[in-house]
């Protein structure tokens, strides 16, 4: 992804989730996707999808069962 796309996606996610610590970062050796972080923690991937002249982005985030456990 291009730097301007990454900046726009970061701005969008920060506003949408009301979370200033979220950031989109370039993936090494990948042009069709970028990584999403909250602070220093990797949380998912955004894929760029351009089909039939239309551009969209798909955010994929895996949530592991042990992440859902209470931290008591």
Residue 67: pLDDT band with limits 50, 70, 90: confident
Q: What are 3-49's pLDDT values in tens digits? A: 999 999 999 999 999 999 999 999 989 999 999 999 999 999 999 99
Q: What pTM does this model have?
A: 0.87
Please, what's the b/e burial string for 28-53 (b: 16 or more CB within 10 A of its CB; e: otherwise)?
eeeeebbbbeeeeeeeebbebeeeee
């Amino acid at each position: 992804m291009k730097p301007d796309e990454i900046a726009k996606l970061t701005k969008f996610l920060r506003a949408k989730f009301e979370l200033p610590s979220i950031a989109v970062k370039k993936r090494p050796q990948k042009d069709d996707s970028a990584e999403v972080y909250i602070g220093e923690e990797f949380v998912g991937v955004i894929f760029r999808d351009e089909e039939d002249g239309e551009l969209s982005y798909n955010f994929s985030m895996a949530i592991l069962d042990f992440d859902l456990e209470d931290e008591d």
